Amino acid sequence: MDLSKRGLVIFDCDGVLFNSLEANRAFYNEIATRAGRGPLNEDEMAFCHMHTALDSINYLFKDYPELIDKAFEVYDGLDYSDFLPYMTMEPGMKETVNFLRKNNKLTAISTNRSTTMPKLIELYGLDELFHEIVCALDVKRPKPDPEGIELIFDRLGCTSKDAVYVGDSKVDEDTAKAVCIPLIAYKNKELDTPFHAESFKDIERLLL
């Protein structure tokens, strides 16, 4: 398959555009400990890194039903922007996205981030880099449901034949399969796809 003929490149946010693992770890540990349970283990952290805040909190407190209301109370009182200093932009991200745009590619983001996404867009000027951004606030069913990708198609006048998806998780793999578009797996060789990238330069080579 020749990915260079694909005119729309859709990126996941966390783990692709940004390394946000430590920001998410600090955020969800703050919720967990203030609500009355212990810090997250690595399996819990992996889940929260790929899912919406609502799903993550419900998952973290599935064995602590008596603490769930307190957890959401803590969540409502937190400002994720306080945790943004823990995030780092992936090396070469801006340069590659701008290069793709100069080569007539449409660029988009599909992410399961919700209330934190508008602040992230503002802080990093993502609306100047991407033609379309869809987060969990924009859909009824987050990834791996195809609704978010299909919304991007509708807004940009594209179809699955035009698109490629760049993601780093099983959720992203399932999302790409749900809409029948090829996946470029970013820094995750365990994902089921013939296309793998360890850097944004690798992404450029695959797409151009």
> 62 and 39 in one domain?
yes
Tokens 């919304």, residue?
151
pTM, rounded to two decimals: 0.85
Write out the chain's pLDDT in tens, 208 residues: 899 999 999 999 999 999 989 999 999 999 999 999 999 999 999 999 888 889 999 999 999 999 999 999 999 999 988 998 899 999 999 999 999 999 999 999 999 988 889 989 998 999 999 999 999 999 999 999 999 999 999 999 999 999 999 999 999 999 999 999 999 999 999 999 999 999 999 999 999 9
CATH classification at residue 159: 3.40.50.1000
If asked whether residues 33 and 11 sit together in one domain, one would say: no
Residues 73 and 30 in one domain: yes
* Residues 113 and 154 grouped into a single domain: yes
Range of the domain at 8: 3-19+88-207
Q: What's at 107, amino acid-wise?
A: T
Same domain, 98 and 27: no
Domains contained in the chain, number = 2
54 and 113: one domain? no
Q: Does one domain contain both 41 and 139?
A: no
- Count the neighbouring beta carbons within 10 Å of the beta carbon of residue 59: 14
- For residues 42 and 139, membership in a common domain is answered with no
Q: Which residues contact 116 (CB under 8 A, 6 or more apart)?
A: 53, 80, 81
Q: Would you call 2 exposed, middle or buried from its count of C-beta atoms within 10 A (0-12, 13-18, 19+)?
A: exposed
Q: Are 121 and 111 in contact (CB under 8 A)?
A: no
CB neighbours of 207 closer than 8 A, spacing ≥ 6?
3, 4, 6, 9, 100, 105, 164, 184
Query: Which of 85, 100, 118 is the endpoint of a domain?
Result: 85
162-191 in b/e burial notation, b at 16+ Cβ within 10 A?
bbbbbbbbebbbbbbbebebbbbbbebeeb
